[in-house]
Structure 1
Amino acid sequence: KPYAIDYRIITPNGDIRIVFEQNRPIIEDDRPVGISGTIVDATEKKLSETDLRDQYGMLQFLIDAIPIPVFHKNENGIFESCNKSFEEFFGVPRLSVIGNTVFDFLPESQAIEADTADKSLVRLGCALTYEAKEINGSGDPHDVIYYKTPLSNPDGSSGGIIAAMLDISERKHMEAALRESEKRFRIIAESSSDWFWETDENHKFIYVSERYQEILGQSPESVFGRSRWDLSSNGLQEQAKEKWRVHIADLNSHQPFRDFVYLFKTGDGSTRNVKISGIPVFDDANMFRGYRGSGTDVTEHIRVEVALRESEERHRNFAADVAHELRTPLAVLRTNLDNFEDTEQVKTLRLDVDGMTRMVTQLLAATRIETYVAADSFVSVNLADVCLHVATLLGPIAIKEQRSIEVLGGEDTQLIQGIQESLEQAVRNLAENAIRYSSRGTVISLKLGQLEDIPYISVIDRGRGIPKEQREAIFERFLRADRRTGGAGLGLSIVKRTVENHNAEIAIDDTPGGGATFTIRFPKSDAALQDMEVA
């Protein structure tokens, strides 16, 4: 029988060559009498075939690395190749795809749609891009975009199509979510009591929501291309020139801002108080593109605040007037009681008058503390002087109540910025409480010092202490805890307000062995702050 074979040979000079030998038998009288054939050097051909196979393998590897499905069909709609992403999307192995048509592994409706599109592409001979719905191997619907291109054979006949499929389901979901978000935003913007705005890089308005017109009486279109200060009259700007200067400086340095309040002149000529907040907007290249924010009409809110402050001022003045008017008759009554014999009734009356006098003093202190303006009233205060003065003042009272009072650390100077009279009133209130509620024969300690550069005063008693659940409530005005037996409930509220006015903190701890320790911690001393700045 004829045969053909490839094999390698070694030439005399040591080269390895691939030869192709093809032979056939010589037949005479129906009998083989010899062999004739040809031997051809096929080395170059075999190397070319090997390179071609390698290139094809590399091409298939690259196609498989493409993260979207890619496939090739011939002119009859038969698959000739596909990549791994195609297999994964449709859940069909490559061997079941190649040599078959879409009707062999897709549902009929999908197959008809795909086959119709491919036939149109072959007929028209031009590239085609379209969206479609495809069901993946798990049965889930996906939105896809097909990119299909016809192929031509060297003789000009149709060579089928090559196509890629891009899954855009996630993009569709995001677009739907964005449309829903925009819809919600429009609903909120239309129903909100605020309005929303946007400015460009020159701080000119490019968007204002519809609520703007309802609130301020100007159409959104009327403000486009104008800045915020263009819409505020020069007279209104002059009244708050420094505030506007700081605001414009913040805008020019692209800083976010919050609760900037200014007077706005409406379309009918009236003025409204407007509060706005905004954040800077930057593009992907980090270039400033403007601001976005919201605005609120706070005219009524400010009117109510002003009315409330005026009402509180009237009430404070009334309380101060009443307390002031009561001091003189109480002092006269106390003097007259001192001229009577020390009967039990007289002693009881003296205690009552003393209690009323203390209440009036606390009421006056409470009204004064409401009017302190820290920035205008603070001076340098030595905490040691405060404690020594309080101890000197209350020493006789402590002795009378069979207690004693001491100052620890009084030899050291502890300077803070504050109001001495107010601080002495606060420490005195704490010390009087300590005298009242500590055990007889004990010592009330006024301790001062610094802990990590933080000045503090501690008022320490050795009484029954204060339950933890009451430690916040006792600072409320007119509230008396179980350990208090008299007074108007103002003393500790005055302490709390004084502490807040001095940007300080107050804490209550248990005294070792029994009792309560009130500690006022003030802001870091100036010396400590200067050391930090130098460091």
Structure 2
Amino acid sequence: MADSDTATDDKPTADLLIVDNAFQVRNILVRYLEEAGYRCITAASVDEAKALLATRPVDMILSDIDMPGVSGIELFRYAATACPDTPIIVVSVIDTPQKAKEVLEFGVYGYIVKPFTRNIVLITIENALRRKQLEAEKGKYLRHLEEQVRQRTENLSSQLLFHQNIINSIPIPIFYKDHHGRYQGCNTAFESIVGQDRESILGKTVTEIAFRLPADFVQDMDRRVIEEPCRLSYEAAIDDNEGYPRHVIFNKARYPDVNGEIAGVVGVMTDITECRQIEAELRVSEEKFRQIVENIGIGVAVLGQKMDVLWMNSRMSEWFAEARAGEGMVCYHSFIKPPRDAPCSRCPTVRALKEGVRCEATFGEALAVRKRQFRIIASPIHDKDDRVVAAIELVEDITEKTAIERDRQQAQKLESIGQLAAGIAHEINTPTQYIGDNTRFIQEATDDLMGVLSACTDLLAAVKAGAPTRRVVQALEQRIEAADLDYLRTEMPLAIEQTLEGITRVSDIVTSMRRFSHPGSDRKSPVDLNEALESTVTVARNEWKYVADLEVDLDPELPPVRCLPGEMNQVFLNLLINAAQAIYDATDNGKTGKGRIRISTRGNGKTVQICVADNGGGIPESIRERVFDPFFTTKAVGRGTGQGLAIAHAVITEKHGGTIHFESREGGGTVFIIDLPIGPTDRQGKFGQTDSGVSS
């Protein structure tokens, strides 16, 4: 067994517990794993493993199933309670579906079948540790989101209560006095504030009801209004009719009598107690909101009509240290190096400001923030007249998210390749078998013919020499009879024809596999979708030929479409395998007859449509909304992970700006319909790299 360089320069660090009664297996695993940088401890039995787990934690358990004494499954039950977060990988010679199903019910992270290779062990462990890390990050992220939702819900509820209080509780007391300060009239709101009815108030001065109002201060303000031709506004603290302190604003002015002489003072009291309380609470709320925006984990910036940076949070300041908000700096000078003279092509913020709609884009690395991927969402800010005056820009670093998505797609692709491997081998073995048989037949026939030819040569030599030919002719006749020339004349051309057909078939399979396995690329290129579909049909032939007849109706005028070839091949494969499995289930593994799969393409000048239809059992109404959800599947364990359609949806909608939907009838089959735009979709990103797709 040849080892390949699988471990990276950065050695992994993890504690692994290896449980196997076979000393040689434990030694091999320890050697493989310690060479890769892992720390290993071993146990020869389940009881010994339990004892080790009780004294020290480990990052992963690798265990056989069938061992003398206690089964490895008992260890899995123990680990599920004692260390539920520790991944488990099965290492066993047993590879029956029933045993695998029993083990998978424990949620194991991998299943390595003995004999194994170093690469299989290292890849399985690395994938399991990666899965554990992703699950931990997902849990942390979900908890963070839940806390944000809770805080935002609390803030919104609080602010709603504040506004409702303002509407329901602001009174407007009104009063007027003569120039001696005696009350001449008031409204019911003033009565409520003072705590007396109108009849008790009229004719009195503020001093006589001073237990409710600051009498001396009020009289000073009244005197000032009468003596000076002015309107006066001031704030005062009073007690309401129940003795509670209130904050009010007095607005006062003098009014004349019928002769134009100063008659007195008219005033309005605005109760701003709730306003003051709300202001304090809003300051707290604003501080909370500011803290959320500052620590939300994504960049937030406000840009003006001229793309000038009005404000940005701390994350934007970290990414773009030379940018200064509020100093007239424009984004295309501040966020990239070297600075540009105009906004970037296809910038979502430019569109948001111009069109007043929410726009979104994904961009490659920025010169100012190297080796990163960004997702930018720009939303317009309107003034009271609904004019767009600015835009808010949310900048999310999706580098890690993109890497996770790439890993998820690669894992699904590996799953598909593994699923196809046996079928492709069978497809190649069949023509190889009859090529070999025919070649051996031709070899034997050639030997017979060479014998006839040798006898003919002897006869010719005898004739030329004038020697007796009877014996030589008899030998030739014997050779001809032994060779059965009539049979060879019939069968040899057929054998050669079948051999050439077999070679052509193998060549077609290899060519299709090469096209299907197009290496991944971050750049789109023109792709013949008809050719891609034909290659997919060929490499997946063993998946559908036993359960369905396949019909291909491809538009010969279909133009090339700019897309990611490898990812489109994966989408086509997922849909074809799903169709075959749907027919498999509906026909009881073909026992009730073959089904039908139909693949078609059409172009209308602007888009290309690909349809994959089957006459299987259809999709139940109850689960149709979840078909494209990640990890959702109704298939049995071992037949699917629930990632195929989720990845197909992401590839079509997010990476190619297209659409994918389905039409289904229970008992009547399903058709998946893909629409892809024709023409270049790569765009120049805001930070100087090619954008993988823009949507708004």
- For this structure pair, what is the TM-score category when the shorter chain's length is used for normalisation? 0.5 to 0.7
CA contact (8 A) 1:231 1:265 kept: no
Matches within 5 A, 1:129-140: 129-137=233-241
CA contact (8 A) 1:122 1:160 kept: no
Distance 1:231 1:80, change over 3 A: closer
Q: Does 1:459 align with 2:614?
A: yes
- In structure 1, what is the Cα distance between the partners aligned to 2:525 and 2:644? 19
Tell me what 1:125 maps to: 227
- In structure 2, what is the Cα distance between the partners aligned to 1:119 and 1:214? 57
Q: Does 1:244 align with 2:345?
A: yes
Amino acid in the other structure paired with 1:460: N
Amino acid in the other structure paired with 1:293: E
Q: Does 1:302 align with 2:399?
A: yes
Amino acid in the other structure paired with 1:438: T
How far did 1:519 drift? 0.6
Q: State the secondary structure of the residue aligned to 2:614.
A: strand
Name the TM-score, length of structure 1 as normaliser. Answer: 0.53
Q: Equivalent of 1:292, from 377, 381, 392? A: 392
Q: Equivalent of 1:69, from 161, 173, 177? A: 173
Amino acid in the other structure paired with 1:505: H
Tell me what 2:363 maps to: 261
Tell me what 1:327 maps to: 425
Tell me what 2:327 maps to: 224
Amino acid in the other structure paired with 1:291: A
- In structure 2, what is the Cα distance between the partners aligned to 1:151 and 1:429? 87
- In structure 2, what is the Cα distance between the partners aligned to 1:139 and 1:88? 12
CA contact (8 A) 2:660 2:675 kept: no
Amino acid in the other structure paired with 2:384: D
Amino acid in the other structure paired with 1:70: I
Q: Equivalent of 2:669, from 504, 507, 518? A: 518
Q: Does 1:94 align with 2:249?
A: no
Q: Equivalent of 1:377, from 506, 527, 540? A: 527
Amino acid in the other structure paired with 1:164: V
Q: Equivalent of 2:291, from 187, 192, 196? A: 187
| Aligned residues: CA RMSD | 6.3
- In structure 2, what is the Cα distance between the partners aligned to 1:447 and 1:262? 40
Q: How many residues align?
A: 405
Which deviations, in whole Å up to 9, do the C-alpha atoms of 1:326-357 show, x marking residues without a partner? Answer: 82897279949x99xxxxxxxxxxxxxxxxxx
CA contact (8 A) 1:129 1:148 kept: yes
Q: Equivalent of 2:579, from 426, 430, 436? A: 430
Q: Does 1:176 align with 2:274?
A: no
Matches within 5 A, 1:261-280: 261=363, 263-266=365-368, 275-280=375-380
How far did 1:497 drift? 6.4
Which deviations, in whole Å up to 9, do the C-alpha atoms of 1:486-508 show, x marking residues without a partner? Answer: xx626997688678858443466
CA contact (8 A) 1:201 1:290 kept: yes
Amino acid in the other structure paired with 2:218: A
- In structure 1, what is the Cα distance between the partners aligned to 2:579 and 2:416? 23
Q: Equivalent of 1:206, from 299, 310, 317? A: 310
CA contact (8 A) 1:369 1:422 kept: no
Tell me what 1:8 maps to: none
- In structure 1, what is the Cα distance between the partners aligned to 2:281 and 2:571? 59
Where in structure 1 are there 5+ consecutive unaligned residues? Answer: 1-66, 340-359, 399-403, 512-516, 527-535
How far did 1:320 drift? 5.7
CA contact (8 A) 1:319 1:367 kept: no
How far did 1:227 drift? 1.1
- In structure 2, what is the Cα distance between the partners aligned to 1:164 and 1:427? 78
How far did 1:79 drift? 1.7
Q: Equivalent of 2:215, from 96, 100, 114? A: 114
Which deviations, in whole Å up to 9, do the C-alpha atoms of 1:281-320 show, x marking residues without a partner? Answer: 3333444433333444x2xx42674597489669968986
- Greater CA radius of gyration, 1 or 2? 1
Q: State the secondary structure of the residue aligned to 1:181.
A: helix
Amino acid in the other structure paired with 1:302: T
Amino acid in the other structure paired with 1:327: A
CA contact (8 A) 1:198 1:206 kept: yes
Q: State the secondary structure of the residue aligned to 1:183.
A: helix
How far did 1:220 drift? 2.8
- In structure 1, what is the Cα distance between the partners aligned to 2:314 and 2:390? 20
Tell me what 2:661 maps to: 505
- In structure 2, what is the Cα distance between the partners aligned to 1:489 and 1:380? 28
Q: State the secondary structure of the residue aligned to 1:229.
A: helix
Amino acid in the other structure paired with 1:206: L
CA contact (8 A) 2:620 2:666 kept: no
Where in structure 2 are there 5+ consecutive unaligned residues? Answer: 1-170, 438-508, 562-567, 601-608, 653-657, 678-696
Matches within 5 A, 1:395-410: 397=546
Q: State the secondary structure of the residue aligned to 2:215.
A: helix
Q: Which structure is higher in strand share?
A: 1
Name the TM-score, length of structure 2 as normaliser. Answer: 0.43
Percent of residue pairs bearing the same amino acid type: 16
CA contact (8 A) 1:279 1:292 kept: yes
Q: State the secondary structure of the residue aligned to 2:334.
A: coil
How far did 1:117 drift? 1.9
Q: Does 1:143 align with 2:247?
A: yes
How far did 1:131 drift? 0.7
Q: State the secondary structure of the residue aligned to 1:244.
A: coil
Q: State the secondary structure of the residue aligned to 2:345.
A: helix
Distance 1:85 1:218, change over 3 A: same
Tell me what 2:382 maps to: 282
**Worse-superposed segment, 142-151 or 500-509:** 500-509
CA contact (8 A) 1:265 1:272 kept: no
- In structure 2, what is the Cα distance between the partners aligned to 1:377 and 1:397? 30
Higher-RCO chain (CA-CA 8 Å, sequence separation at least 6): 2
